[in-house]
Each structure stands twice: as structure tokens, then as C-alpha cells.
């Protein structure tokens, strides 16, 4: 005697997929907050610019297979950009909707090679620019689970590394994350 096989018509991946979208939104917003705080700290942007920027950042995360690694890479690329711009007064970062456009080779897309060189340097010199990976992972931890415990742990790590400028960026990003209207 045959038994009937019941086929579930509602795919089980849908709830998981929805959670993934929420995670991408959360990562994208936190990533934008980090970039905004470091690269455009005194600027506000119109809704149109923000939407274009967030779409570009979201597509970056959607294309990545490891979201957490993509987030830390993103943050390190922002820090590398800040270092580049700070080195010479005539350098600047254009509007974020332009800078994050994947077709703009002098924007975020151009920082990929910088990050790859950083990774090669780290293979040769362990601990090279460790503070940038520390702030990136700390900010990720705080963004996903904000708490005094995470904040204190991250603060302690950055102080141990004497990464005072990055510690200030960490503080500013958290303030911006919690209190900014943009």
C-alpha cells in the first residue's frame, strides 16, 4: 500500500531569506553610518542621495558570500580612504551617491585594490595596520548587539593599540548610529 507524500508548498527558505534581507539592511545602514561619520562628518544629504547610496551599499552586501567579512572589509576600505584623503589637503571624497557607485573607479570601487594590497602586507607583516581590522570588527559587534559590555571591550582593544584616532571614530560612529536623524 502506498502512502501519500505531503509536499510543503511554502518554501522553508522564505523566513530565512527575510531575515537575510533584514541583516543586509542592518549591515548596510551601519556601514553607511560608519562611512558618513568618517568621510562626510559635517554633511547632511538629501533623501535622493541617501537612497542611491544605500542601494549601492546594499548591492555590495548582496553580492558578498560572507556578510561579516564584507562588513569588516568595507570599514577598512573607509579607513584607507580617510588615510588617503588626509595625506594631502587637495584630496576629497565626492558625494556618496557618486563615490559608492560601482562604476565610479575613483570611488569605493577603487579601494578594492588598496584593500588587497593591505591583505598582502598582512601576510608578510602580521599585525600590519591591525587597528583598522580591530575597529571594523568592534563596530560590527556593536552594530549587531549594542551594549555597554561590547562598547567597553572595543574601547579597551583600541586603547591597547594606541589607536586614538580610530577610537574617536568608534565613539563618533556610535553617537551617530544612536542619535543621528540621517
Cβ atoms of residues 102 and 59 within 8 Å? yes
Cβ atoms of residues 163 and 17 within 8 Å? no
Residues 6+ apart with CB under 8 A from 96: 32, 35, 36, 39, 40, 45, 49, 53
pLDDT tens digits for the chain (182 residues)? Answer: 555 444 333 333 344 444 454 489 999 999 999 999 999 998 999 999 999 999 999 999 999 999 999 999 999 999 999 999 999 999 999 999 999 999 999 999 999 999 999 999 999 998 889 999 999 999 999 999 999 999 999 999 999 999 999 999 999 999 988 887 55
CA distance 38 to 78: 8
- Burial call 114-144: b when 16+ CB within 10 Å, e when fewer: ebeebeeeeeeeeeebebbbbbbbbbbbbbe
CA distance 152 to 142: 10
How many other C-beta atoms are found inside a 10 Å radius of the C-beta of residue 2? 4
Task: Output the pLDDT for position 4.
Answer: 47
pTM comes to 0.84
Amino acid at each position: 500500500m502506498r502512502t501519500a507524500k505531503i509536499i510543503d508548498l511554502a518554501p522553508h527558505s522564505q523566513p530565512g531569506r527575510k531575515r537575510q534581507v533584514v541583516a543586509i539592511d542592518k549591515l548596510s545602514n551601519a556601514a553607511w553610518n560608519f562611512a558618513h561619520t568618517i568621510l562626510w562628518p559635517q554633511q547632511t544629504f538629501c533623501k535622493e542621495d541617501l537612497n542611491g547610496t544605500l542601494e549601492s551599499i546594499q548591492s555590495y552586501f548582496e553580492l558578498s558570500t560572507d556578510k561579516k567579512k564584507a562588513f569588516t572589509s568595507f570599514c577598512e576600505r573607509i579607513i584607507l580612504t580617510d588615510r588617503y584623503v588626509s595625506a594631502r589637503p587637495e584630496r576629497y571624497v565626492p558625494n556618496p551617491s557618486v563615490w559608492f557607485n560601482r562604476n565610479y573607479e575613483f570611488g569605493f570601487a577603487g579601494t578594492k585594490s588598496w584593500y588587497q594590497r593591505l591583505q598582502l602586507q598582512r601576510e608578510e607583516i602580521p599585525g600590519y595596520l591591525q587597528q583598522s581590522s580591530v575597529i571594523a570588527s568592534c563596530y560590527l559587534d556593536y552594530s549587531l548587539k549594542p551594549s555597554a559590555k561590547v562598547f567597553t571591550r572595543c574601547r579597551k582593544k583600541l586603547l591597547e593599540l594606541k589607536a586614538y584616532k580610530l577610537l574617536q571614530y568608534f565613539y563618533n560612529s556610535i553617537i551617530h548610529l544612536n542619535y543621528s536623524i540621517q
